[in-house]
Amino acid sequence: MTSVILDTDFLSSFLKIQKPNLIKDFFGVDELIIPTAVFREISMTKLISNLIKIRWIKVVGINEEDWGIELINKCEFIELGEGEKESILYCKKHSDAILLINDKKARAIARKNNINVLNIPAFLFACKNTGFLDNKEISDIINDLKEKDYYEFREIERKELLD
């Protein structure tokens, strides 16, 4: 079964619009996974009260030996945030994992390390292309993300998502 791992920025966005269940339902999994560092980063925000109510988000620790996993270009990796690092390490250890992450640099590093990644626009495209969400639902999510998370889609993404 596929593991779905969320980085802080992706999780934060979907907590703000109160739709983390959308991710779980789309992938058809029983739980979403976040590393301890992601939990720690969310715990420094007001979103922690929303997160701790969700029983199907599982917090996983990254062991000391996980830090020894061979990665392409360790120099780039070291520059990432703790949540991004732990998310990538977890996915590197679990080859069936999908990483949901928005940071462009972190996504590039994950891809170089053969990790399946999606950012918010790619996730919504997948929801649209499979018929999981219709245009009205996608439009509502785009508007909610802008209003509640100040998340902006590029014009071309917005247009393609809503066509």
Query: Is 144 found in the same domain as 89?
Result: no
79 and 104 in contact (C-beta within 8 Å)?
no
128 and 146 inside one domain: yes
Parent domain of 151: 122-162
% of the chain at pLDDT higher than 90: 83
pLDDT at 1: 72
pLDDT on residue 73 = 58
Instruction: Please give the tally of structural domains in the chain.
Output: 2
Same domain, yes or no, for 111 and 33? yes
Q: Give me the pLDDT at residue 84, please.
A: 95
pLDDT in tens, 87-97: 999 998 888 99
**Is 155 found in the same domain as 85?**
no
For residues 76-92, give the mean pLDDT. Answer: 89
Do 60 and 10 lie in one domain? The reply is: yes
Same domain, 115 and 127: no
Same domain, 111 and 135: no
CATH of the domain at 66: 3.40.50.1010
Which of 91, 84, 89 has its CA nearest to residue 116? 91
Banded model confidence at residue 70, pLDDT cuts 50, 70, 90: low
Both 48 and 67 in one domain: the answer is yes
**Do 48 and 114 fall within a single domain?**
yes
Least Cα distance to 134 among 143, 124, 144 occurs for 124
Q: Roughly what angle, to the nearest 10 degrees, separates helices 20-27 and 8-16?
A: 110
Sign of the CA dihedral running 27, 30, 36, 39: positive
Do 128 and 115 reside in the same domain of the chain? no
Examine the pLDDT at 75 and tell me if it is beyond 70.
no
Instruction: Tell whether 155 and 78 lie within a shared domain.
Output: no
pLDDT digit string (tens) for 27-57?
Answer: 999 999 999 999 999 999 999 999 999 999 9
pLDDT in tens, 7-28: 999 999 999 999 999 999 999 9
